A and B are shown apart, each in its own frame.
Chain A
Amino acid sequence: MYEAVHAHPDGQSTVARLAKTAADYGFEGVVVRNHADARAEYDPERIRDEYGIDVVEGVEIRTDDRQSASGAVGNYRTTKTIVAVHGGTNAMNRFAVEQAKVDVLAHPMAGDGDINHVLVKAAVENGVRLEFDLSGVLRQSGGRRVRTLQSLRKLREIVDHYDAPYVVSAEPTSHLEVRAPRELKALGEELGFTREFIEDGLAEWGRLAERNRHIHSESFIEPGVERGRYEEES
């Protein structure tokens, strides 16, 4: 299971601290999803060796207009393992689900963003994962939290119906906001998700990272075509 984090300077803790905490809590990996305007400097290999946890380089593209978003997706696609789009407005939600190059549409229901059957169908077609963002449930209270819960339920019902791909995250911005997978599963159960649903959503980050690393690797040429092991001609 993986957690997708905002590290310093986007959040308050460095990648290493978040990775150490996540490893301690039983995660198998962290995805660094800093916004493109606040990128973190870190050495994934060194953190992996030190704390025994996978560190995935990702990016979350945050912009208001489709053109710059499109450019950013093109730029980061080749260098980052996971490319997410900061959702939360109808325009960006629409943009993200229609782009096969985008891996994850982050928190589509945040702010005044919304999701409907058309967008979810497009997401299924393009393989864009919709994110269930639990941070609002964990860190808000009162009426705002109720609204967050309502939006999570709406998203869950549509995603269930179309069997759309999804990821789950608590979106921590510091090591204090990380919650262990068991806690997240217990929380999900209270909210009407099943344990398997949450576990699957947390594991999906890892599967996504593995798939994209494979695609980025040198042996991969195009789907179904790979460089095999051939005898060297002498």
Chain B
Amino acid sequence: MKHLPKHLRPRWRYLAVSLETWPDERIGRRSFQRELWYAGQNLLGDPGSADADLTVMRFSFADGQGEAIVRVRRGETEPARAALACLDEIDGAPVGICVRGISGTIRAAEENYLRRRGQDSEERNVVFGNEERVAVLRDCVGDVRLDEAFAGATDLDYDLA
């Protein structure tokens, strides 16, 4: 079909989103998109989520950290923000999510708000709460592996063993 003249095309806004989870979890693009649409539908209803759009345009995830660009119709950014905030689990992995900024183009959103935090994580032995544990360290923070779960900590909480 012939594409629309420029003044009839929808205006988009692009939300730069950062994601975070525990080190041994994986988040895929498809499951992120699915959960995002579910969250939108549950919070905003069908008409609201149709208005907001909430399409994932870019997605990257590695080492428990990720970044995404989410497309939203102009004027619907606040409902979209609310829907994003309601994402708490993706495939059973708890996620921390934050909107870093909003731009009118994908490129501007990436350049201004998503700096590639390419810092590799490393496993180290640490002393946390008087016990020696294994922790996944990155950029002044670390997730300490406890018996069954992780504990989120920072450099202030543990000593390198």
Contact = CB atoms under 8 A, between A and B. Distances in A.
Contact of A20 (B21, B97, B141, B151): B141
Interface string A4-28: 0000100011101110110011000
Chain A, interface SS category: helix
Contacts of A186: 78-79, 81-82, 85
Interface centre among B22, B44, B78, B154 (most CB of A within 10 A): B154
Contacts of B21: 176
B98 A12 contact: no
Interface string B61-97: 0000000000000000011011011101000001111
B99 A180 contact: yes
Contact of A189 (B82, B140, B149, B150): B82
A12 B152 CA distance: 6
A20 B142 CA distance: 12
Nearest to B142: A17
A183 B141 contact: no
A16 B85 CA distance: 22
Interface residues of B, number: 30
Given A14-B157, A187-B86, A190-B82, A176 B98 contact: no
Interface string B29-62: 0000000000000111000000000000000000
Interface residues of A, number: 34
A179 B85 contact: yes
B161 interface: no
Given A12-B149, A190-B44, A139 B88 contact: yes
Interface string A183-197: 110110110000000
Interface string A125-153: 00000000000011101000100000000
Interface of A: 8, 12-14, 16-18, 20-21, 24-25, 43, 46-47, 50, 137-139, 141, 145, 174-180, 182-184, 186-187, 189-190
